[in-house]
Amino acid sequence: MKKEEYNFLKVLTILLVVLGHSTYYIIKTSFGGIDYLHYINNNHSLMVIKALNVLTEIIYYFHMPLFMAISGAFFRIQVEKNKWQSLFTLFKNKFRRLIIPFIVFTILYTLPVKYISNYFVQTSILNAILGQLFLFGNTHLWYLFALFIIFMIAYFVLRRDTGVGMLLFLFVLHLISYKINVPLLKSSFQFLFYFAIGFKFEQKREVYNHLLAHTKKFVYFLLIGFVLLILMNLGIKRYSIILSKVFVEILAVYGSLVTYTIAYYLTINTKWMNTRIYQLILVNGLGIYIFSDTLNYLILKWGFIVAENLMITPHGIILMVIFRFLVTLILSVVITLAFKKLFPKYRWLVN
């Protein structure tokens, strides 16, 4: 049976990732970063930045948990088809598809582009390399390494008959991960729970689809509930960090479910799926993820060189977010297609 809603979900999630990476003006770590926020001293501009921070926060509630859940859902489909007969088969496949792209593009793309974007201007080359390869610094490619570890663990803990007990255990592991200070493991333990949620959801997907098809009012309650949870968290976090964390945990799953619901209804109108842009994003999703984020640093650098005065105005900030979203999306597609064309033997690196 076709699962086109998952394909649409992947497209929506990629767009959310690109948008979420197109709003920041400042990123600071001990292993590199940027700070264009200190140029802004206009109150109206700072209000726009705060509004964009809220938008980014909402996207970050669920977009990476959703990414992991999608991977978990596809893993269940593969498990049901008996695709992974041995751990070695899974290891070999995922090492090739996740770890090799992580290493190759960190060294040959992320590090050079960040370097010429002045991302490492306040740190040493050694720190820059360590930060990107061992996840000490800010690197969007952490997802590839974390997902590899998750697949290895999932081979042992997720089965066709996986029940609530295992999900509860993985949720406890998820909570413990916040206290783990080993970057190479922290993200894997943190997101394994969402991977398992996707794995379990695929088992009940048809039941949920039936509910969506026959109970339209449920969707309205779902959307209203999502908005209310967001507003409650934005208000509560001022007074209780712990309670806010509880809301964030709920929003991670809730937001993923809302996005899936939107994808389900969008697939009913097949004209969306026949568009060129939909197919480009769907087929080149990994390449978009790999190449898009790092381009932001170049755009910000040259934007401030060419039009610093515009970049710090309220309208300029909004225009820059739109510009970054469109340009990083388009250029990452172009780079992915060019890579496949120039290196056909290695197109698997971005597939």
In angstroms, the Cα distances linking 260 to 71, 145, 257 are 13, 25, 5
Answer yes or no: are the C-beta atoms of 313 and 42 closer than 8 Å. Answer: yes
Q: What is the pLDDT of residue 272?
A: 78
The burial class, CB within 10 Å (0-12 / 13-18 / 19+), for 292 is: buried
- pLDDT tens digits along 216-274: 899 999 999 999 999 999 999 989 999 999 999 999 999 999 999 999 999 887 777 88
Kindly report the pTM of this predicted structure: 0.95
Half-sphere exposure of 33 (CA within 13 A, CB side): 14
Ordered DSSP codes for 18-53: HHHTSS-SEEEETTEEEE-GGG---HHHHHHHHHHH
- pLDDT tens digits along 122-159: 999 999 999 999 988 889 999 999 999 999 999 999 98
- pLDDT tens digits along 260-297: 999 999 988 777 788 899 999 999 999 999 999 999 99
269 DSSP assignment: S
- pLDDT tens digits along 167-198: 999 999 999 999 998 888 999 999 999 999 99
The burial class, CB within 10 Å (0-12 / 13-18 / 19+), for 171 is: middle
Q: What is the pLDDT of residue 2?
A: 53
Tokens 């739109």, residue?
322
If one counts every other C-beta atom within 10 angstroms of the C-beta of residue 223, the result is: 13
If one counts every other C-beta atom within 10 angstroms of the C-beta of residue 179, the result is: 7
- pLDDT tens digits along 317-350: 999 999 999 999 999 999 999 999 999 999 999 9
The burial class, CB within 10 Å (0-12 / 13-18 / 19+), for 232 is: middle
For residue 1, pLDDT over 70 is answered with no
Question: Cβ contacts of residue 97 below 8 Å, gap of 6+?
Answer: 348
- pLDDT tens digits along 21-38: 999 999 999 899 999 999
- pLDDT tens digits along 38-90: 999 999 999 999 999 999 999 999 999 999 999 999 999 999 999 998 999 99
Long-range CB pairs of 137-140, under 8 A, 24+ apart, other chains included? 137/29, 137/30, 137/31, 137/32, 137/33, 138/27, 138/29, 138/31, 138/32, 138/33, 139/106, 139/110, 140/21, 140/289, 140/293, 140/294
